[in-house]
Structure formats: structure tokens, C-alpha cells
Structure 1
């Protein structure tokens, strides 16, 4: 009875040959598995990061945080409706985040009473849930034109502004033309033809 009890506690390895094969396979199989994984990882045809175009990769890594974009200063101003559609319609067409809807005179009335400059300042610098609009695709004068469009569609009577320097240049041009005309000497009269 005690002999059968000891037989139940023996392992799957019954002789030294089985022990030798088990020890050999326990070292060799993990080595082959590691070699297979290394071959699998290194055999892919994807290039390493930055190898395809190293100049572009370097330029992206060292680029400045802020970018300067040069635009034509003399391009015509975009109308207020175009600015509204491009910059403001996402919130003011739907009333998202408490924005007054385009055409809602009741919602715009208290804002219109603050004045055009206050509305433009709020648009450029941001107010409440509205992010600042200045510095984007539209210049400050175009944002002001968009504000005028929204306010006028909602019961206000503001004029869409022009470029500040365009009005000054027009006034300077007219002022410099008047003295030039006054300073020009009068053309001498043609000599009278003598009858002969």
C-alpha cells in the first residue's frame, strides 16, 4: 500500500534521457523564440523615423513655436457677410455657448447699446465663452466688418469700417493735390497773331 502511494508523487520525467531532452529544450526553445521575434521586428520595410526625408524631419524638430505669415496689405477687405460665414457662423448662426443668434434683435439689443467699439473689442479679445477672433485668417478691420454685419442684421445701424490707413491716405492725397494745383503757374496766354 505504501508503494502505490509513492508512485503517485513521481513527475513526468521517468529516466535520465527524458531529463536531458527536457533541459535541452527548455534552453533552446526560448532562444529560437527570441531570434524569431528579432527577425520579425527587423524585417519590416518601413523606414525609420526621419530616414525618408531627414531635412524635413530636422526642420520640424527645430521649427519655431510662432510662425510669421506675410500677407498682401493692399488686398481688398472681405465683406462682413463673408467674415461672418468664415469666422462667426459656427456659434452665432446656431446660438451655441450662449452666443446671440444672427437676426435675434432681442438678444442683440443690450449688446448694441454698448456701442460698436465695445463689440469689436469683445470680438477681437474674446468675452465669456467666445475665444479671441483677432490674429486669424481675417485682419482686425475685417473682424469689425463681420461684427457690423451681425449687428446690422439684428437691428443695429453700424457702418462697415474701411482700413484706417486707407481713409488717411485718401485725405492726404486730396490735401496734397490742392496745394499742388494752386502752386502751378498759370499758363501764359498765347501771343496774338499779327495781321500782316
Structure 2
């Protein structure tokens, strides 16, 4: 066998052994005490410390949804042009999706405004190109759609007049053909 000292021990005396055993217990305990002191020394708000505040409790207890009962016999409250735009038109006309002219961009609206209010209104009611009829909201009244056209037109400088609903005593338009809100407003 070989006479070389291949496996020499680091601890050669009993005194060194005692120091190694004591250090193996004292050093980890000292590190744990320092970490605990570091973590608890600064005043940090604990996670979830506002969980019992009145606002947080009210938010957790708030209903998830509501149910609205609408009287089918009650007269319909017509929305303004801005409300209709926000509900049905803004999704495409704010970003210019699918070739829709952006609200406020006079360059994109110039040719369309030249066609006149009645043409724009008919396109909005019946749909054109990628735009669905009534902006995809079939519950909209033609007057509401006309108000949205007036709102969007005024945003690019058009001088459209907002139509008002016809009086209830007037005769309705012929079946299958919708009367223009501009014509209804002129009556």
C-alpha cells in the first residue's frame, strides 16, 4: 500500500474537535437570531393588515351582481348619443378596428360626412361593410342610433341636428321601411 497521506483530517487534536462541535451549534443559532432580529426590526405593515377595515369588509360583502326588473309596458327612455357611442360604437370607433373611422379623425370622416346625415344614419341602422346593424345592439331605437351618428359627426365638425322622437299621435312609417329620424324631426 502507499505511504502517502491521502486522507488527512482537518481536526487533529481534541481541542479542535470541541471547537468544531461548539461552532456547529453556535453559528447557526447566531445566524437565526440575526435574521429574526432583521425581519422584526423594521415597521412594515403585515400582509392583509387592512383585512378587517370597514372598507375591506364592505367590499367582500357587496353583492356580486344585481337584478333589474324592467316594466315592459313603461315608456322606453332613449339614450343620448354619447351613451350609445360608449355602449355600442366605442369598441370599434375608438381604436379604428376593422376599418372603422376613428372618433375625432377628420381625415377619415371627411368623405363620409360628404354623404350627408341620412346616408350615415342608414348605414348605421342597417350596417355596412364590417359594421353590424345598429353597432351590434339590436335593442337600440333608430332615434338612439341617429343620436350616436350626430354625436360622432359633431366630434369631427359636422353640423348635424339631433333628432327628437316623433309624437305618439302621428302615424307610423310604412311597414318594412324605416323613416329617417331627420324626416321625423322635420315633421
TM-score between the two structures when normalised by the length of structure 1: 0.46
TM-score between the two structures when normalised by the length of structure 2: 0.47
Q: Determine which structure has the larger helix proportion and give its number.
A: 1
Instruction: From the CA coordinates, give the structure whose radius of gyration is larger.
Output: 1
